[in-house]
Structure 1
Amino acid sequence: MSKDRLSASRRLDVALALVAQSDYVAAIDVARAAISADAEWDEAHFTLGDIYERAGETENAVEAFRQYLILDPVDRMGAEVRLTLLGAAAMRDRLPPDYVRALFDDYAPRFEISLRDRLAYRGPELLFEAVRPYLPNMLRPLEVLDLGCGTGLVGEVFAGHFDAMDGIDLSPRMINRARAKGIYRTLVAGDITDLPADLGSDYGLVIAADVLNYLGDLAPALRAAHARMKPGGLMVLTLEHGDAFPFDLGPGQRFRHHQRAVLEWVNECGFELVSDELGVLRQEKGNPVEGRIMVARAIDALSVMAGNLVSQSDPDQASGHTLH
């Protein structure tokens, strides 16, 4: 660490301590001093943008986040997401992969405690309940693919109901924690929109628990999953419900999807909808986060072509029941 970077780091630590005390005016001054000590430190610019945003100084926040992106074009800290939420950048069709990877690499050691104990997360349980009626009649051996497997929460909930389970996640550190549980046959660090050859090609069940929230356009992930599934196999997934078509970016930095858009993607990508329920996925700041729990069946190419010749079903006819 250079002398200037050391000085900048110490000043930024002071700025963050002032933020914790809600003294944003003083924090801004100290963060600016940190940048004066090392103007090339991207993290200092991002932190300054965050403080400006907290202080309600939107224009200055936008300027600081843009300066950060000049220094870190791959956007490990998610400045583009912040700019989008501030109305200063166009909405992309997914969150930057490098940002999501860095976010969950950092989150991995406290991931399960945070989700289970603090956020009352129950996505895997809701998915299991949605697919449970179909499990007895599914062809064996049943191979399962866990998209965005994280630390293996889905594997734990579904344990005993499959013959083999593979998992993929952007975060290598999350993968390492899943591997330690001994549930998965194969675990790969990779992108769910471009499944690597290490994974299988004959899955009877694909599970996507709260991973599609980091994608706006769902088509690439749905097509990738369909290409690795048996005809008649099931895909079960959770999504945060949104009212903007086709999707918008929520304040929690996750995409929310409109029901009609999801149904269109499902049909276009070779699936037919089996069930569509509403349920509470987790708590966020004391408030329930409502989502969709959907089951879709993979159909073969001939069925997809035939389906395109008839009118699409009315999305208003989806069940819309609520899971408690």
Structure 2
Amino acid sequence: MSKDRLSASRRLDVALALVSQGDYTAAIDVARAALAADSDWDEAHFTLGDIYERAGETENAVEAFRQYLMLDPKDRMGAEVRLTLLGAAALRDRLPPDYVRALFDDYAPRFEISLRDRLAYRGPELLFEAIRTHLPEMLRPMDVLDLGCGTGLVGEVFAGHVDAIDGIDLSPRMINRARAKGLYRTLVAGDITDMPADIGTDYSVVIAADVLNYLGDLVPALRAAHDRMKPGGLLVFTLEHGDNFPFDLGPGQRFRHHQRAISEWLVECGFNVLSDTLGVLRQEKGNPVEGRVIVARASDALALMAGDLIIPGDPDQASGQTLH
């Protein structure tokens, strides 16, 4: 660490302490002093942008986030997401992979405590409940692919009911946590839209628990999943519901998807919807976050007749059931 970076780091620590006290004006002054000591420190520009945004100084926040992106084009801290939410950048079809990887690598040690104890997360349980009645009908062996497996919460719920589970996740540190549980046959660090060769090609069930929320356009992930499934295999996943077609980015920095977009993408990628239910995925700031829990069957062709599809929310075909 250079002398300038050391000085900048100390000043930025003071700025963050002032933020915790709600003194944004003083925090901005100290953060700018940190950048005066080291103007090439990308994280300091991002932090200044965050403080400006908290203080309601949108134009200054936008400028600081743009300065950050000039220094870190891979966007490990998610400045483009912040710019999108501020209305200063176009909505993209996914969150930057380097940002998602860095986010969950950092999150891994406290991930389960945060989700289970603080957010009352129960996505894997809702997915199991949605698919439970289909499991006895499926041929054995029943191999499962867990997309965005994280620390292995899906494995904990499904392991006793299937023959083998493989997992893939962008975050190597999350993979390491899942591996320690001994529930997975294979674990791979990789992208669910472009799965590596280590992932098999004959899965009976593919599960995506609270992972597709980090993608806007779901077609690449749905096609990749279909390519790895047996004909007639089941895809079960959760999504946060959105009112804007085809998707928008919510304040929690996750995508929300429109029902019609989901159904059209599933047909395009060779799936037929079996059920579409509502359930509370987690709590956020004390409020329930309701999402869709969808079960779809893979066909052996990428073209289905429209009449084969159960349109999510269609009262004559979809169950309309709510999971609790």
Query: Is 1:159 aligned to residue 145 of structure 2?
Result: no
CA distance in 1, matches of 2:2, 2:63: 26
CA distance in 1, matches of 2:172, 2:81: 22
Give the partner amino acid of 1:30.
V
1:200 aligns with 200
Query: Is 1:118 aligned to residue 118 of structure 2?
Result: yes
Deviation (angstroms), 1:312? 6.0
Structure 2 residue matching 1:183: 3-state secondary structure: coil
CA distance in 1, matches of 2:310, 2:7: 63
1:131 aligns with 131
TM-score, with length taken from structure 2: 0.97
CA distance in 1, matches of 2:229, 2:92: 28
Query: Is 1:216 aligned to residue 180 of structure 2?
Result: no
What stretches of structure 2 of length at least 5 have no aligned partner? none
Query: Is 1:179 aligned to residue 179 of structure 2?
Result: yes
1:17 aligns with 17
Structure 2 residue matching 1:151: 3-state secondary structure: coil
Deviation (angstroms), 1:322? 1.2
CA distance in 1, matches of 2:38, 2:6: 9
Deviations 1:46-69 (A, max 9, x none): 000000000000000000000000
CA distance in 2, matches of 1:151, 1:313: 33
Give the partner amino acid of 1:305.
A
CA contact (8 A) 2:263 2:311 kept: no
1:251 aligns with 251
What is the aligned-residue identity percentage?
83
Query: Is 1:227 aligned to residue 227 of structure 2?
Result: yes
Are the structure 2 counterparts of residues 199 and 323 from structure 1 closer, same or farther at C-alpha, using a change threshold of 3 Å?
same
Structure 2 residue matching 1:44: 3-state secondary structure: helix
Q: Following superposition of structure 1 onto structure 2, how do residues 1-324 of structure 1 map, counting pairs within 5 Å?
A: 1-301=1-301, 304-305=302-303, 307=305, 315-317=312-314, 318-324=318-324
CA distance in 2, matches of 1:198, 1:139: 23
CA distance in 2, matches of 1:156, 1:16: 38
CA distance in 2, matches of 1:15, 1:138: 57
Structure 2 residue matching 1:320: 3-state secondary structure: coil
TM-score, with length taken from structure 1: 0.97
CA distance in 1, matches of 2:310, 2:9: 58
CA distance in 2, matches of 1:159, 1:146: 11
What stretches of structure 1 of length at least 5 have no aligned partner? none
Deviation (angstroms), 1:100? 0.1
CA distance in 2, matches of 1:214, 1:270: 22
